[in-house]
Amino acid sequence: IQAAKKRIGGQAHVTPVMTSRTLDRRVGAAVFLKCENYQRVGAFKFRGAYNAMARLSEQDRRRGVITHSSGNHAQAIALVGRLLGVQTTIVMPKDAPATKRAATAAYGATIVEYDPAEATREEISHDLKRKHGYKLIPPYDHIDIVAGQGTAALELFDQVESLDMLLVPCGGGGLLSGSAIAAKGINPACRVVGIEPQLADDATRSFQTGKLHTVKNPPTIADGTRTPSLGEKITFPLVLKYVDDMKTVSEAAIVEAVQFLFFRMKMVVEPSGALGVAALLSGSVTPQRRVGVIISGGNIDSPTMKMILNT
């Protein structure tokens, strides 16, 4: 993670840390929001994508890169491909948010659509990899991706004096496992908690049982957490080793958090990015004295935001 921080230096933004007296008062703690919604492509995913692609051999760069993603990782791979001169192909579900799809295309990626009811994105990307010789860079179960994502937490610790607790959204576990490793490396006493929607609680059940659970196409508003499971090879073992607890939040709590961040803090945050704030506001997590929260992204389409703000 330290090496990744040097590698992405000058490419990834050093994102701001925001605070709110109102939020602190409501939850009874000092809360520090690490705002990755202000990262390039509007999400933390740029960190991992740049770290992984910067490490590719010249042969792999010439082959081109393929990945599968509902949006933020897709945009990140597409943008990094443009920056490094690497052809990128992205397998995206046909119901991916319009803003994420449009941005991915604008960065120059080739988009391959699929129907989640008929096939898995992993199957399609592996088939294309075999057919064309592309280099596969998956969204989370990849050590360079995990290291890159962990730089967000590393940076947060550089920006604040200390933290007693760190809340991190969890989809496939790349951000959570990387952040947990960084946090424990700096302060072993810092309590790291992953946050998931109740409707997409595969990681929570996996954490609690020690066996990998799967939830396919969960109907949560937090589209960034619709991954079927943690990564079997890398992120699941890392979560078990470094994360202290997993908690879930309701759809109503996620909506309330997005509303709070918009109306009280003037921040545009996508539902997946608001999970940590949702956990605090709803009482799913009992905060310690100084709490860091990773706001993972701000890529939300207008129909979803309109629905949330009018709820």
The residues assigned a catalytic role are 45, 296
Give the phi and the psi of residue 16 in degrees, each rounded to 5.
-75, 160
* Calpha distance 43→299 (Å, rounded): 7
* Calpha distance 169→296 (Å, rounded): 7
For 266-299, letters b (16+ CB in 10 Å) and e give ebbbbbbbbbbbbbbbbebbebbebbbbbbbbbb
* Calpha distance 114→212 (Å, rounded): 25
**Vertex 81, ends 76 and 85: CA angle to 5°?**
160
* Calpha distance 308→236 (Å, rounded): 32
3-state helix, strand, coil in the chain (%, to 5): 50, 15, 35
* Calpha distance 129→284 (Å, rounded): 41
Q: Is the CB of residue 287 less than 8 Å from the CB of residue 280?
A: yes
Question: 241: part of which helix (H) or strand (E)?
Answer: helix 235-242
* Calpha distance 168→293 (Å, rounded): 6
